[in-house]
């Protein structure tokens, strides 16, 4: 009468008596199921972490304007400067003329149509990612 002592000892002993013995095949199945669930949770967490890093890097690239702009034959952005959290002043080349516009959350507003052409200093040509990273990694590099 194996079940009788478990009832005498209480409900905790009954649960312990109902669990498979460590050397039985049922115990191996329970351990394999727990191991598979643990492995799935680890893989799922890793994938979510990788997706979060990708989204964060994409957000940083857009905030730092590292993404290339689409080229247009008649309209080109010559320069832009942030004047607020979400406001920018942009110098555009439209054909042979230049225009200064303000860009904000409420839209785009024309600030001035310039009579004289503004000559900008030559900007360094965009290089490879490795060159940009090397420049950022140097002790006195741009920040």
pLDDT of 32: 67
Given a contact cutoff of 8 angstroms between Cβ atoms, the answer to whether 91 and 79 are in contact is yes
Contact 14, 7 (CB under 8 A): yes
Does the residue 19 lie in any domain? Answer: yes
What domain count does the chain have? 2
Determine the pLDDT at residue 8.
46
Domain membership flag for residue 16: yes
- Domain assignment present for residue 38? The answer is yes
Position 75 in a domain: no
Give yes or no: residues 88 and 55 share one domain.
no
92 and 131 both lie in a single domain = yes
Q: Examine the domain organization and report whether 88 and 125 are in the same domain.
A: yes
Residue 77 domain-assigned (yes or no): no
Per-residue pLDDT of the chain (143 residues; tens, 9 = 90+): 444 444 444 444 444 445 555 555 555 556 667 788 888 999 999 999 999 999 999 888 887 877 666 666 788 888 888 899 989 999 998 888 899 999 999 999 999 998 888 888 776 555 677 777 888 888 765 55
CB atoms within 10 A of CB 91: 19
Q: Which pLDDT does position 22 carry in this prediction?
A: 56
Residues 123, 77: contact at Cβ < 8 Å?
no
Domain limits for position 100: 83-137
């Amino acid at each position: 009468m194996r079940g009788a002592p478990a009832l005498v000892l209480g409900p905790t002993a009954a649960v312990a008596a109902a669990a498979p013995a460590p050397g039985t095949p049922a115990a191996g199945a329970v351990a394999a199921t727990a191991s598979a669930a643990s492995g799935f949770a680890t893989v799922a967490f890793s994938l979510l972490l990788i997706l979060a890093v990708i989204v964060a890097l994409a957000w940083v690239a857009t905030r730092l304007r590292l993404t290339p702009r689409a080229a247009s034959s008649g309209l080109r952005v010559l320069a832009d400067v942030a004047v607020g959290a979400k406001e920018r002043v942009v110098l555009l080349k439209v054909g042979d003329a230049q225009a200064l516009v303000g860009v904000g959350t409420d839209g785009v507003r024309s600030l001035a149509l310039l009579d004289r052409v503004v000559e900008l200093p030559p900007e360094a040509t965009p290089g490879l990612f490795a060159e940009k990273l090397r420049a950022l990694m140097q002790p006195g590099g741009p920040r």
